[in-house]
């Protein structure tokens, strides 16, 4: 059995921040190893990576409740470009039938007129490659001209997608399971390796338009935390080949490299203007694996006078060496970069993030 999984581990020391807050406005946290730890959710990390990645690729994607509206806009533009007559109301209804058929959206079943006119997909946020909605738009215009009927295959042909974004993170359609795309990338939550602590920030704002008023125009309280975070993401190479129709096509390696870089470096932007906490990872470790494997920090790291980062890196190196002794057949090539110093990761050391990204791309493409 080949090493079909590629797991990337990162350790990042984040200064004061609240980039991913809970329903109370507090930095997210989790209970693990007998203590409360700071947390950045996998969903927030994937969103940040998607935003960074989509700025750099030709095949874009969109998550939206309004797939009908997006496709209709493309249809109107296509019809105008081709000089074709297009009945927007009829086109909307045809497109809506396809999108709702994929979503099986919750509607008011007793109000057929309301359901017919609504563009909403209930609470369903559907995930489309932009090209899929454009294909549906073209089909809607041409079907109207020919008197034909649209179907889901005018939007999505099979379970694969030309969008790496869709192939990486997956999607499902409630009423069309065979057209769902299995995710090829698994992303962990990011958690501190040590106890969580809150910092309360009392602030005030001056009302510039009030003359002769010495007090604050507004006062409030915000909460922040800081710490050393460990997280991972794993690429299932075989699933990526199945889910991504552009795998191996011209430019696809560059797309993959852009996604890997975004997954390593991108962070959520919550309260970024008040804290500017985005730092580069202190260390990145890449492993080829037969079975996906991450490392636990069940025993909290203790600060050693140098903060939590240095002992976290030392603990990670020790955990990797222990895993290699326990199950050597599970691991293939391993590469590490960053603040390695004289730590022994039992891995090839490289210098730059570009080297790390190239290692992942080589492993995915079998170079």
What pTM did the predictor assign?
0.89
264-279 pLDDT, tens digit per residue, is 999 999 988 889 999 9
The rounded distance, in Å, linking the Cα atoms of 231 and 8 is 8
pLDDT at residue number 367 = 59
Is a pLDDT exceeding 50 seen at residue 77?
yes
Looking at the fold, whether 324 and 187 belong to one and the same domain comes out as yes
Kindly tell me if the per-residue pLDDT of 28 is higher than 80. yes
Task: List, for residues 283-292, the tens digit of each pLDDT value.
Answer: 999 999 999 9
What is the average per-residue pLDDT within 114-139?
76
Mean pLDDT of the chain: 90
- Please indicate, yes or no, if residue 253 is contained in any of the structural domains: yes
Same domain, yes or no: 268 and 297: yes
pLDDT at 115: 47
Shared-domain flag, residues 46 and 188: yes
Burial group, residue 305, by CB count within 10 angstroms (0-12, 13-18, 19+): exposed
Which pLDDT does position 107 carry in this prediction? 46
In this predicted model, what pLDDT tens digit does every residue of 189-211 receive, in sequence order? 999 999 999 999 887 787 777 77
220/236 Cα distance (integer angstroms): 46
Residue written as tokens 């962070």? 267
More confident residue, 3 or 284: 284
Would you call 320 helix, strand, or coil by DSSP? Answer: helix
> Tens digits of per-residue pLDDT, 86-126?
999 999 999 999 998 888 754 444 444 444 555 445 557 89
User: Does residue 143 fall inside a structural domain?
Assistant: yes
pLDDT score of 214: 66
Q: Are residues 236 and 328 in the same domain?
A: yes
Confidence at residue 49, expressed as pLDDT on a 0 to 100 scale = 95
Residues 326-348, mean pLDDT to the nearest whole number: 97
Residue 207 lies in a domain: no
Assigned domain for 214 exists: no
Vertex 99 angle, CA 95 and 103, to 5°: 165
| pLDDT tens digits, 304-316 | 888 999 999 999 9
Q: For the chain, how many structural domains are there in total?
A: 2
Residue 252 structural domain = 5-56+183-198+224-365
Q: Do 77 and 141 contact (CB within 8 A), yes or no?
A: no
The answer to whether residue 205 sits within a structural domain is: no
Task: Say whether both 234 and 353 belong to one domain.
Answer: yes
């Amino acid at each position: 059995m080949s090493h079909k999984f590629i797991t990337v581990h990162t350790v990042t020391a984040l200064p004061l921040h609240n980039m991913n807050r809970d329903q109370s406005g507090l930095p997210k946290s989790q209970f693990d190893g007998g203590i409360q730890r700071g947390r950045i959710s996998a969903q927030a990390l994937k969103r940040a990576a998607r935003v960074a990645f989509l700025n750099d690729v030709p095949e874009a994607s969109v998550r939206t409740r309004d797939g009908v509206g997006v496709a209709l806009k493309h249809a109107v533009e296509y019809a105008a470009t081709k000089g074709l007559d297009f009945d927007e109301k009829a086109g909307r209804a045809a497109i809506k039938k396809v999108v709702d058929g994929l979503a099986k959206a919750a509607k008011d079943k007793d109000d057929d007129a309301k359901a017919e006119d609504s563009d909403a997909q209930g609470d369903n946020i559907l995930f489309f490659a932009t090209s899929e909605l454009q294909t549906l738009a073209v089909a809607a215009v041409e079907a109207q001209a020919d008197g034909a009927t649209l179907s889901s295959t005018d939007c999505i042909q099979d379970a694969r997608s030309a969008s790496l974004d869709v192939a990486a993170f997956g999607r499902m359609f409630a009423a069309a399971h065979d057209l769902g795309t299995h995710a090829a990338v698994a992303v962990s939550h990011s958690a501190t390796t040590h106890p969580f602590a809150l910092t309360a920030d009392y602030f005030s704002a001056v009302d510039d338009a009030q003359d002769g008023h010495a007090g604050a125009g507004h006062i409030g309280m915000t909460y922040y935390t800081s710490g050393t975070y460990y997280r991972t993401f794993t690429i299932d190479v075989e699933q990526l080949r199945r889910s991504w129709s552009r795998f191996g096509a011209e430019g696809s390696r560059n797309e993959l490299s852009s996604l890997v870089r975004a997954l390593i470096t991108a962070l959520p932007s919550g309260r970024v203007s008040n804290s500017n906490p985005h730092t580069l990872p202190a260390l990145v470790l890449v492993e080829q694996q037969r079975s996906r494997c991450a490392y636990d920090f069940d025993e909290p790291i203790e600060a050693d006078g140098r903060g939590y980062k240095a002992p976290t890196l030392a603990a990670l190196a020790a955990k990797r060496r222990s895993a290699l002794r326990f199950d050597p057949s599970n691991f293939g090539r391993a590469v590490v970069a960053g603040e390695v110093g004289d730590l022994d990761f039992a891995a090839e050391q490289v210098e730059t993030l570009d080297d790390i990204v190239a290692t992942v791309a080589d492993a995915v493409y079998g170079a």
